[in-house]
Structure 1
């Protein structure tokens, strides 16, 4: 399976952010891309897991010559220990000879709690309704530098999604070019549907601008909760 030079990594999180972003990214009229959707499965037998596979949806934006230019990987919301095994196999696919062509991994995320230091804001991002943050992880590419230049330096990040946390750790070790693009949803007690929508929209719109795509507000909607929100162990709040 050959992936595009730009790979957007998303998870079917309980809030519905991942599926909503994946659904709302569409070809722009200027790009002449076509959107193709399929699924994939990767064996986990090497980890002693024979009854499950690393699976997910693959959405690709293909140019008129049939070459994928942007890939979206949408994974289930795995918990441990499946999450680490699944992410490792996905990263092996991304870095394989078949797919490796200076691949950049883009990781969108919406933070739940945040201590904002306005002095760290990039002037290019301060005009938005919702602040966008960018962090370079692992190696770098031109598109990473371009995205970082238009975002603010993030504060201490707390990732409460097992698959995303695993991915951040592994790309550091493997030195795979990765950029985290995050926005901040207000605290749940203060949050309104409109504010959360704006946080999601800013992330999606930013991605579309840098991927040569368009982002549909009409299709930006929650896809439903996969399972009840699990209670996080208190010690997880100590780790980014």
Structure 2
């Protein structure tokens, strides 16, 4: 089971955000999307008969040729023509971005205790053992319905949009995680993630020091907008941000 060095972890939450993101992130030209189920037994944890089940989605270069630069590098190269001093910075970013690497998604059920912690531990062990020689980076998007613990997560921006993307580097950090959090807002220390699988994942990556970026925003109805319009806006906010950094495309209507 091959796993890429860029791994997106999505949970099929009750509101449907995780599944919607998994469906809307599509291959860019030249890439293929392959999906397969997986089952990892949890007997060694004393959970006889229980399994860490889910879907592994892989995006790979079908032609074997290098993938095109992702959008954020294309924009940087364009700016270099007008500002030569940016050249060294852009070359550094290109050197750490592996243009031929594939991207993997783990689309997981909303595990409950005690399965959640054991399942996430097994999945992280799989990622570490099957990823290429370079250390994998995890991208963990999380969209939640507004609640008291997310007060302040949604703010009006200069463009009039009501969606603000928050991001935090967890575990370890590197140049790629810095790029992922660039342009976002750091979440408040009081932020609570009400998702058992994601909570367990974040605790484990802190201990193992696996480079991880948590992306958080709030869905649901915003002032002056229907719930469905607000949901589309937050999905596009997160989807566009993830897609441009891993050379995929976010498509709002995939069916």
TM-score band by shorter chain is 0.7 to 0.9
Query: Alpha carbons of 1:117 and 1:83: their partners in 2 closer, same or farther (altered >3 Å)?
Result: closer
Shift of 1:47: 0.5
Which of 46, 49, 71 is equivalent to 2:47?
49
- What is the rounded CA distance, in whole Å, between the counterparts of 1:210 and 1:128 in structure 2? 24
Name the counterpart of 1:39: 37
Say whether residues 1:163 and 2:197 are aligned partners.
Answer: yes
1:103-143, Cα deviation, whole Å (9 max, x unpaired): 1000001133323289xx9xxx8647211111000011222
Shift of 1:164: 0.6
Alignment length (residue pairs): 213
Shift of 1:22: 0.6
Could you tell me whether the CA contact under 8 Å between 1:36 and 1:61 is conserved in 2?
A: yes
Shift of 1:101: 2.2
Which of 163, 175, 183 is equivalent to 2:209?
175
Which of 192, 208, 218 is equivalent to 2:227?
192
Name the counterpart of 2:76: none
Flag as ranges the 4+ runs of structure 1 deviating above 3 A: 97-100, 125-128, 186-191
Could you tell me whether the CA contact under 8 Å between 1:108 and 1:203 is conserved in 2?
A: yes
Query: Alpha carbons of 1:127 and 1:6: their partners in 2 closer, same or farther (altered >3 Å)?
Result: farther
- What is the rounded CA distance, in whole Å, between the counterparts of 1:128 and 1:103 in structure 2? 36
Say whether residues 1:211 and 2:210 are aligned partners.
Answer: no
Give unpaired runs (5+ residues) of structure 1.
221-240
Q: Provide the secondary structure at the position in 1 that maps to 2:207.
A: helix
Could you tell me whether the CA contact under 8 Å between 2:58 and 2:103 is conserved in 1?
A: yes
1:163-186, Cα deviation, whole Å (9 max, x unpaired): 011001111011000000111225
- What is the rounded CA distance, in whole Å, between the counterparts of 1:97 and 1:59 in structure 2? 14
1:104-143 map, 5 Å: 104-111=137-144, 112-113=146-147, 114-116=150-152, 127=159, 129=161, 130-143=163-176
More helix by share: 2
Say whether residues 1:95 and 2:128 are aligned partners.
Answer: yes
Could you tell me whether the CA contact under 8 Å between 2:24 and 2:250 is conserved in 1?
A: yes
Q: Provide the secondary structure at the position in 2 that maps to 1:95.
A: helix
Say whether residues 1:28 and 2:36 are aligned partners.
Answer: no
- What is the rounded CA distance, in whole Å, between the counterparts of 1:61 and 1:97 in structure 2? 15
Tell me the C-alpha RMSD between the 2 structures.
2.5
1:9-20 map, 5 Å: 9-20=9-20
- What is the rounded CA distance, in whole Å, between the counterparts of 1:53 and 1:19 in structure 2? 20
